[in-house]
Each structure stands twice: as C-alpha cells, then as structure tokens.
Structure 1
Amino acid sequence: MQGGAFAQFVPLILIFAIMYFLIIRPQQKKLKDHQAMVEALRRGDQVVTQGGLIGKVQKVKDDGEIEVEISSGVTVRVVKATIAQVLNKTEPAKKG
C-alpha cells in the first residue's frame, strides 16, 4: 500500500515541477532583469514609463525616484519601478 500512496502524488509533483519551470522561473528572471535595468539608470538615458511617457533622465535620486524631462523645461518626478524600457543608454564616463 505504501507504493500506491506515493504513486498518487507523482502526478502532483510533476505538475508542480512543470509549473515552476514554465511560469515561476521565467517571471523571477524577468523581475531580476527589470531590477537590474532600473538600478543602471543614469542621467541622460532616454526612458519609457509604464504610462507611456517618453523622456530623458535628468536626475537620479536615492529615494527610488528619478526626474524625467518630457519636454523642453518640463520635468516630472517618476518612481523608478515604473520605468518600462530604456530606449537609449548614455555611455559611461571613461576613466583615464
């Protein structure tokens, strides 16, 4: 009887393994990539917010915000986590 009880749980274990590799793991990777993108934001990067605004980063603040210039002389404060995409990266300053 012990083998029969274990055999009943095998399909559940397989379903969980499939769910992990097809759903959970890709979502975790996507979240990790987004966090890395947000942490790499610098002044001069052109970004798209989740609301669809396109602008250039003017200032990166430590409290999870950035200032984005959406038009000449018009800057808005944006939460870093709402950045959906970085269109143009600025080149890092060369040392030496």
Structure 2
Amino acid sequence: MNQLFLPLLLMLVVAIPLIMGTRKQKRAAQEQQKLLGSLTEGDRVMTTSGLYGTVADASGDTTIDIEIAPGLVTTWLRQAVREKVAPQVDDLEAEETEDEAVTTAEPVVDKAEDEASGPQVAPPLEHKPSK
C-alpha cells in the first residue's frame, strides 16, 4: 500500500492543476464566443491589436465592419474583437468637462514672456576618450 501511495499522490498533484486550467480556458472561450455573437451595430469595441472603434456592420458570419474614425470603416475578423468598451462621452459632456478643467487649471502664462525665454535646450554631453 505504501508503494502505491507516493505515485498516486504525485499524479494527483500534477493532474488537479491541469484539469482546473483546462476548465478555466473553456470558460474563457465560451465567454468570448458569447461576446462575438452578441455584437450589434453601434457597440464600442477594442480589437486584439488595441484599436478602438464602433461596430458599423455585424451581419457577416466571420467578418465585422468597424468604424475607427468618422467615415473610415474597416473590415475585421470577428475573432479580432477582444472586448466591448464603454461608449464615448458625448461631445457636449466633453465640452462641459473641459470648461470645468479650464476654471481649475493653473493661471495662463503671458505668451510674450514665454517666447522671450525661448526653448530650453540641454547642453551637449561631453565625451571623454577612454584611455
């Protein structure tokens, strides 16, 4: 009995993490398939390459059209969509936020003073020859 206990324990120690990892991967794959199937026009998404855009057409089985800039629509594989992201803030809300930021920002420096000082340039490095 003692001779079988050690190999059996070793197999359990190796097998349990493998099984748990496999289950986690299956769950993640199911969630990704669910996401890809639920994409509709107007959803804000991020691709696997980090590009943000808005779904323009999701009628294709394997491809999806994403608008990455106003009037610029590109075609992607559905699998390239990594996640849905929160929609962009409306322009009006963004302007209100900017107005608030301006009132709390530091005082504006006079342009004449700023231009008179000119750009600040670091002195060149001195390279001493090695002996």
TM-score, structure 2 normalization? 0.59
CA RMSD of aligned residues (A): 1.8
Match of 1:72 in 2: 70
5+ long unaligned stretches in structure 1: 90-96
Greater relative contact order (Cα < 8 A, sep 6+): 1
Identity of aligned residues (%): 20
| 1:19 partnered with 2:18 | yes
5+ long unaligned stretches in structure 2: 88-131
**What's the CA shift for 1:30?**
1.0
> What letter matches 1:38 in structure 2?
L
TM-score, structure 1 normalization? 0.77
Deviating runs (4+, > 6 A) in structure 1? none
Q: Which moved more, 1:7-16 or 1:53-62?
A: 7-16
What is the 5 A alignment of 1:45-84?
45-84=43-82
Say which SS state the counterpart of residue 84 (structure 1) adopts: strand
Match of 1:36 in 2: 34
The structure with the largest strand share of the pair is: 1
Say which SS state the counterpart of residue 88 (structure 1) adopts: coil
